[in-house]
Amino acid sequence: MLRALLYILPLALTIYAFIDCLNTPEEETKHLPKVVWVIIVLLFWIVGPIVWIFAGKARRPASARGGSGGWVAPDDNPEFLKSLKQQDGADDEAVLKDWEADLRRREEELKKRESDEDTEK
């Protein structure tokens, strides 16, 4: 089992680094062109992926990932949440008023039926 890990771990690291290198935009690569990084990752089986991970890509800190330049999930975007509150406020009140009116109408119909049943007896 240990012998298998000696081959599986570097292979997994190489595959990860290769895919990461391919998915990285050209402007985020450091020191060398992207094509050269791909060749380094593939030719130097163990050292190439490690060098790519530590020196090849411009890494951003975790706090900068959701900044103004990057994509932000809708539930983390305060502007999107504010727009939802503005849209839903007026719509919700109108729907609530319609439901209340419908409920009152149904209650009146039930009372009328009950009173009609009581008078029949």
Cα dihedral sign for 103, 109, 113, 118? positive
φ/ψ (deg, to 5) at 57: -120, 140
pLDDT of residue 42: 92
pLDDT of residue 69: 59
Residue 37 has pLDDT above 70, yes or no: yes
Chain centroid, CA 62 distance in Å:
15
The C-alpha atoms of residue 36 and residue 24 are separated, in whole angstroms, by: 13
Output 121 or 100, whichever has higher pLDDT: 100
pLDDT tens-place string over residues 39-57: 999 999 889 999 998 888 8
CA separation (Å) from 41 to 25, 29, 47? Answer: 16, 13, 8
Residue 63 has pLDDT above 60, yes or no: no
Residue 66 pLDDT grade (very low, low, confident, very high; cuts 50, 70, 90): very low
CA separation (Å) from 105 to 13, 92, 102, 114? Answer: 68, 20, 5, 14
Residues 93-101, mean pLDDT to the nearest whole number: 89
